[in-house]
Amino acid sequence: IPTYQWPDPRSRYIDKVLYEDGPDLLVSGCTPRFNSTISAQWLRVMFHDMSTHNVDDGTGGLDASINFELERPQNIGEGQTQSLVDFMPFTTTFFGLADTIAFGAALAVLGCGGPVIPFRAGRIDATSAGPATVPQPQEDLATHIESFRRQGFNITEMISLVACGHTLGGIRHADFPLIVTDNDTDVALFDTTKNFDNVVVSQYLQNTSQDVLVVGPNVTTRSDFRIFSSDGNVTMRSFLNNETFFDTCANLIERMINTVPNGVTLTDPIDPLQYLVYQPLLSYQNGTLIMTTALRLINASDNPSRTITLFWADRRGSFCPSTGCSVQTTGTQFLTTNIYLSAKGYNATKYLFNATINASTSISKFWFEINENDGSQPVAVDNGGSGFSIAQDSVFIDSLRSKTVFTSTDIFLKVVVAVRGDSNATSVAMTTFDPTTPLFNPTPPFLPNITVMNLELDESNPPEGGFTFFSGAATQQVTTVNYTGSVVGGTTFNVNDFDLKSVTFDLEFE
């Protein structure tokens, strides 16, 4: 299990999307949608995005170019646009649509009972369409072999990938009337189970297949038959062993999601961070700074006597004892619902903290001590001895003064930023990343709204305790914000990649 590099809001954000509040809820339980499943739609959109890859010149691949390609007949299908609508809310500047499509494919397989697929981040979103190179059922075997070769896969891998893909979902009559000829069928499923399993294989080998790309009335579009039988069924027969099928699918789908244009470097596979420290939140209240944060333990033993203490050190002057000021945890949460976390064999326990800090001596860093109270040595979680530093306490989003505002027509976030100094010499600007897609008739490409604004002096928060308060509005969909504040003396402080969505602001009704 990796340890946490501090400060690293980007790893923290990605960890959240993967292991806490991510898209997994949409597919856990192999959720049905449009007479298919959400998983089937996510897996297909990943394949269609990736299949622009060309091994010969290293262009294309999993780069979200699909965002600009959905008008093409080869990308027809009800689930395609909807899948991108599913993914957009999780995106931000450093975790874009391509990473979300890739992770979505891993979740899709898992949600329907398939194997765990490791995930690496770092894909780069394309800004225009790639070539129209998605394989289509009416093409002949030689064309498909060449198409998969160009994408980086040999014949055995092509057979495998089509079987791995076509264990989920099916073909829609409305979009493929020449393949699904029966007017009473909405979606002709590839096999009799909705799960990710080798039933598509066994039914093919037993001649009981219902896959219209195997047995459909139109011989020209029997592409699954041509592909599955292209090596005399050797590969398909090996998949009668479900473990072989799972291992092969996990490996090949992993390779697929890691197929990226030359020059893009992916991270190592991302596991949940041991000792994850949550983004600390500050608020100025009556001469004190209230700081909330949390520490997450992975696979901690079930020990009701465990105590965890948060320590912190002064920033200016001395108020805290040399061992640090300290506070005990205010509560714990056992995180169990995330399917990617549990499929990897982990559970997580979150310990919450709420520290009241003397505002004049303030805080320079904090750390934790875990005591099992069973005679064993307490464990320090202190970033290798240096503590988790608070880079500055001059410009911060004031988490208790910020609000979720309800008006008669709207809901928005009022983001309040506290700045040390008086208003004559201070100013604050904020950049918000809002990946909202339209509620009605969403039409790709979906591009985020990036808004740069100067914050105004906040009338409902008059200056207090040496701080001036500024505010600006953001939508509830904003994922991350950057903000920058200039203080007395001209120093400017920048805070990047603040995860706005992970903060729950108090409600305010106007």
Positions that interact with ligand HEM (CB under 6 A) = 36, 40-41, 43-44, 47, 77, 79, 135-137, 144, 161-162, 164-166, 168-172, 175-176, 223
Task: Pick between residue 120 and residue 501 the one whose CB is nearest to ligand HEM.
Answer: 120
Cβ at position 47, least distance to ligand HEM in Å: 4
Q: Let me know if 404 is exposed, middle or buried by CB neighbors in 10 A (0-12, 13-18, 19+).
A: middle
Which residue, 28 or 167, has its beta carbon nearer to ligand HEM?
A: 167
Distance between CA 479 and CA 460 in Å, rounded?
A: 25
Residue 257, phi then psi, degrees to nearest 5: -70, -20
Q: Which is nearer to ligand HEM, 133 or 427 (CB)?
A: 133
Q: How far is the CB of 184 from ligand HEM (least distance, A)?
A: 16
Min CB(197)–ligand HEM separation in Å: 13
Q: Return d(Cα 372, Cα 365) in angstroms, integer.
A: 24
Q: How many CA atoms lie within 13 A of 192 on its CB side?
A: 7
- Helices 9-19 and 97-111 meet at what angle, rounded to 10? 30
**Closer of 147 and 347 to ligand HEM (Cβ):** 147
Q: Which is nearer to ligand HEM, 40 or 62 (CB)?
A: 40
Q: Which is nearer to ligand HEM, 44 or 403 (CB)?
A: 44
Nearest to 132, CA basis, from 41, 68, 58 = 68
Tokens representing 431 are 């950049």
Distance CA 90, CA 12 (A): 13
Nearer residue to ligand HEM within complex by CB, 33 or 315: 33
Give the Cα separation of 497 and 500 in Å (integer).
Answer: 9
Give backbone dihedrals phi and psi of 173, rounded to 5 degrees, phi first. Answer: -55, -45
Q: What are the start-end ranges of the H helices in 306-406?
A: 339-343
> What is the radius of gyration, based on Cα positions, of the chain?
26
Of the pair 135, 272, the CB lying nearest ligand HEM is at: 135
In this structure, how many other beta carbons lie within 10 angstroms of the beta carbon of residue 39? Answer: 32
- Minimum distance, C-beta of residue 176 to ligand HEM, in the bound complex (Å): 5
Q: Could you tell me the smallest distance in angstroms from the CB atom of residue 32 to ligand HEM?
A: 10
- Got the DSSP string for 96-116? -HHHHHHHHHHHHHHHTT---
Place of tokens 């954000």: 13
Closest CA to 475 of 431, 432, 429: 432
Q: Minimal distance in Å, beta carbon 444 to ligand HEM?
A: 16
Contact in structure between 52 and 70 (CB atoms under 8 Å) = no
Question: In this complex, which beta carbon is closest to ligand HEM, that of residue 40 or of residue 308?
Answer: 40
The secondary element (H helix, E strand) that includes residue 436 is: none
E-strand ranges in 118-207 read: 170-172, 187-189
Q: Kindly state the smallest distance separating residue 213's Cβ from ligand HEM, in Å.
A: 6
Smallest gap from Cβ 180 to ligand HEM, in A, equals 8
Q: Which two tokens stand for residue 242?
A: 């479900």
